[in-house]
């Protein structure tokens, strides 16, 4: 059973702060990692993908991957109230169907 674990939160941060979201996974053979953002009542949308160890930056977002420790994180710098949403971590296996397994998501609240 492949598992993807996230703290459900909510994680509350003040506007302008750094929000740190974490995700751990059980399948050591996983090769692709994704962060989706889901606003309340809306569908998930992809915001970041990462495939190799280290950091990947895209604007205010940084994804960090550590395959040895089997965790992936998402940092949001200069958090804005519009970043308030649930963030889903998704992990794809190596080979096979390449269909991702999703975590349950972490609720982020950015308060003014």
Partner 1 sequence: DAGVIQSPRHEVTEMGQEVTLRCKPISGHDYLFWYRQTMMRGLELLIYFNNNVPIDDSGMPEDRFSAKMPNASFSTLKIQPSEPRDSAVYFCASSFDPLNTEAFFGQGTRLTVV
Which one among 45, 55, 57, 58 touches partner 1, defined by CB under 8 A? 45
Does the protein bind partner 1 through residue 42 (CB under 8 A)? yes
CB closer to partner 1, 71 vs 102: 102
E strands, 1-112, in order: 4-5, 11-14, 19-25, 32-38, 45-50, 54-58, 61-66, 71-76, 85-92, 101-102, 106-111
Does the protein bind partner 1 through residue 61 (CB under 8 A)? no
Q: Are 58 and 76 in contact (CB under 8 A)?
A: no
Contacts to partner 1 from residues 7-36, by CB under 8 A: 34
Contacts to partner 1 from residues 79-98, by CB under 8 A: 88, 92, 97-98
**What whole-number distance in Å separates Cα of residue 79 and Cα of residue 83?**
7
Quote the least distance from Cβ 40 to partner 1, whole Å. Answer: 11
**What whole-number distance in Å separates Cα of residue 46 and Cα of residue 70?**
21
Q: Which residues contact partner 1 by CB under 8 A?
A: 34, 42-46, 49, 88, 92, 97-105
């Amino acid at each position: 059973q492949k598992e993807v674990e996230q703290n459900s939160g909510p994680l509350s941060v003040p506007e302008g702060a750094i929000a740190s979201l974490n995700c751990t996974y059980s399948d050591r053979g996983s090769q692709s990692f994704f962060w989706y953002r889901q606003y309340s009542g809306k569908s998930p949308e992809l915001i970041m993908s990462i495939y190799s160890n280290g950091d990947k930056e895209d604007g205010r977002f940084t994804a960090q991957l550590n395959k040895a420790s089997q965790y992936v994180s998402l940092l949001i710098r200069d958090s804005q109230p519009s970043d308030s949403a649930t963030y889903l971590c998704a992990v794809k296996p190596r080979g096979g169907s390449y269909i991702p397994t999703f975590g349950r998501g972490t609720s982020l609240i950015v308060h003014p």
